[in-house]
Structure 1
Amino acid sequence: MKIKSILISLMAFVLGPFVWGQEALDTLYANAQMNVALFFPSPIKQAITGNENAVFSYDREEAHYFGLLQAIKGTTTNLWVMTLDGYAYEFKVAYKDRLPRTHLFLNEQHSLGGVRPLPARKLDTLFEDGTRLALMEQLLQQQNGENLGTVRSKGMQLRLEKKVYQGGEMFLVFELRNKSGIDYDLETLDILRINGSPKSKTSYQETPLEPQLRFQQPETIKSGSTYRFVHVYPKYVTGAHERLKMVLLERQGGRRLELFIK
């Protein structure tokens, strides 16, 4: 399951031409008493460890260039990091009582190479019948003030209006509002299933959900504008200790929003 989580995280990307420099670092040593700081040449977009024995903490609200690594005794795992400039990094992680170093400055030569997002899929290539289309258009026409959760940061507002189940699918209706005075170029809006608390090093886990369709999602949210759109996912009902996390990322910018719902 843990390996599957890593693979799903990478499914949203297609490997581009690799730019190989020096080999990636063999091993990072960490423990629970000290933080090991990793500094990247570009802000961190996403990071995940191979098991719960290692925790990599980074700012999920506003993209920054560094993260902090810790591990408990017995750790043997790996760490994947994706940065906003499109580079992927992988490190081995092991526990050590006495750390050889507590900080590390990285560059693109430490990366596995450059990656690029999958091209956007056109609506008319995703379904032939009009059942799903009719439902999505109906959901966008209905504006009755429903609100399952809202997050605001730096003039940007992300709101989940509705969560609708039909057949084997889950429809999420979003609203994005820009009051920042600056246009917002949308990089991604990712949905992740989370289990446990990020404060717990042994039980916290994030698993990305792969969308079947993004309907009327804008590429740019103009200043002063509001957009509503729909994401379609395979039907999923959260368990007793699970939540969904929505992560909105800006292209070539640091504005990031995270929304948690049950």
Structure 2
Amino acid sequence: MKIRSLLFSLIAFGMGPFVWGQQALDTLYANAHMNVALFFPSPIKQAITGNENAVFSYDREEAQYFGLLQAIESTKTNLWVVTMDGYAYEFKVAYKVQLPRTHVFLNEQHSLGKVRPLPIRKLDTLGKDGIRLAVMEQLLQEQNGENLGTVKRRGIRLRLEKKVFKGDEMYLVFELRNKSGIDYDLETLDLLRINGSPKSRTSYQETRLDPLLVFQQPETLKSGSTYRIVHVYPKYAAGAHERLKMVLLERQGGRRLELLVK
């Protein structure tokens, strides 16, 4: 079960190799009547528990430095957290009626180490990449105002314009607009497959889909500018109870956008 939880966590976060550091913190004790607050040195990027008996709540729209932990009776599981600065943390979680503490302040020494992101391949304009390049350039030239979903927050807009299937691949065309008055340093634009509903934690699952190629994605969204980019993924068709979620994250910042589409 522990190995299964570890593998699920690694898949959900899309982690690369670790630079291993200190050992994880000892067991965290929680119950269903009080919140245990965990304070990190950097805002939380992603977090997941090993099963539905423990819940770790954090702000998914505006990155914050803390999250709240609760657990039901007989809980024995683990909690994985990755922060914006790239550090990964793992904790054991167990139920206890009387909590020894209700807040924990953490630093990098409590982490397992830093996560190295998986590299995205560059186009070599040869073979299959040459065909992809022609398709992506054509998609960016076609500005027909399609809109499969849009989310706006604090002057930043994320729009999914198109979803096109070519052979065994799926092409997603995004529009990113910054009218916030402040440049937006882009950390990631991730795509996740959602199965189930967050209200039913026993059946809810998020799985990150890794792009084959990313085209025309800038490192910074300049204030007052609009960008159109393309991501290429293996072909994917959503099931009856599945949706896709796009997550736009700001580097070392709190502006986060999430877009759900079918």
The reply to whether residue 15 of structure 1 matches residue 15 of structure 2 is: no
Corresponding residue for residue 240 of structure 1? 240
Residues of 1 paired with 2:18 and 2:191: CA distance? 21
> What amino acid is the match of 2:11?
I
- TM-score, structure 2 as length reference: 0.91
Q: SS where residue 202 of structure 1 aligns?
A: coil
Residues of 2 paired with 1:66 and 1:126: CA distance? 47
Corresponding residue for residue 49 of structure 1? 49
TM alignment of 1:31-46, pairs within 5 A: 31-46=31-46
Residues of 1 paired with 2:21 and 2:165: CA distance? 44
Q: SS where residue 13 of structure 1 aligns?
A: coil
Residues of 2 paired with 1:105 and 1:91: CA distance? 13
Q: CA deviation at 1:19?
A: 4.4
The reply to whether residue 64 of structure 1 matches residue 64 of structure 2 is: yes
Residues of 2 paired with 1:174 and 1:96: CA distance? 47
> What amino acid is the match of 1:7?
L
Residues of 2 paired with 1:2 and 1:165: CA distance? 33
Corresponding residue for residue 91 of structure 2? 91
Corresponding residue for residue 186 of structure 1? 186
Q: SS where residue 51 of structure 2 aligns?
A: coil
Corresponding residue for residue 158 of structure 2? 158
Deviations 1:155-199 (A, max 9, x none): 100000111122221111100001011111101011111222223
The reply to whether residue 136 of structure 1 matches residue 136 of structure 2 is: yes
Q: SS where residue 181 of structure 2 aligns?
A: coil
Contact persistence 2:194–2:242 (CA under 8 A): yes
C-alpha spacing 1:2/1:127, structure 2 compared with 1 (3 Å): farther
Residues of 1 paired with 2:243 and 2:30: CA distance? 29
Q: CA deviation at 1:30?
A: 2.0
Residues of 1 paired with 2:161 and 2:214: CA distance? 15
C-alpha spacing 1:231/1:127, structure 2 compared with 1 (3 Å): farther
C-alpha spacing 1:235/1:73, structure 2 compared with 1 (3 Å): farther
Contact persistence 1:52–1:205 (CA under 8 A): no
C-alpha spacing 1:88/1:129, structure 2 compared with 1 (3 Å): closer
Deviations 1:14-58 (A, max 9, x none): 434x443xx421211222232221111110011112222222111
Residues of 2 paired with 1:200 and 1:103: CA distance? 27
Corresponding residue for residue 199 of structure 1? 199
Contact persistence 1:211–1:231 (CA under 8 A): yes
> What amino acid is the match of 1:181?
G
Q: CA deviation at 1:114?
A: 2.2
Q: CA deviation at 1:3?
A: 4.5
Task: Report the count of equivalent residues.
Answer: 259
> What amino acid is the match of 1:93?
V
> What amino acid is the match of 1:202?
T
Residues of 1 paired with 2:226 and 2:113: CA distance? 36
Residues of 2 paired with 1:186 and 1:126: CA distance? 28
The reply to whether residue 6 of structure 1 matches residue 31 of structure 2 is: no
Residues of 2 paired with 1:126 and 1:213: CA distance? 14
Corresponding residue for residue 253 of structure 2? 253
Q: SS where residue 77 of structure 2 aligns?
A: strand
Residues of 2 paired with 1:98 and 1:126: CA distance? 64
Greater alpha carbon shift after TM alignment, 54-63 vs 107-116: 107-116
Corresponding residue for residue 114 of structure 2? 114
Corresponding residue for residue 24 of structure 2? 24
Residues of 2 paired with 1:127 and 1:153: CA distance? 40
Q: SS where residue 29 of structure 2 aligns?
A: strand
Contact persistence 1:191–1:247 (CA under 8 A): yes
Q: CA deviation at 1:101?
A: 2.1
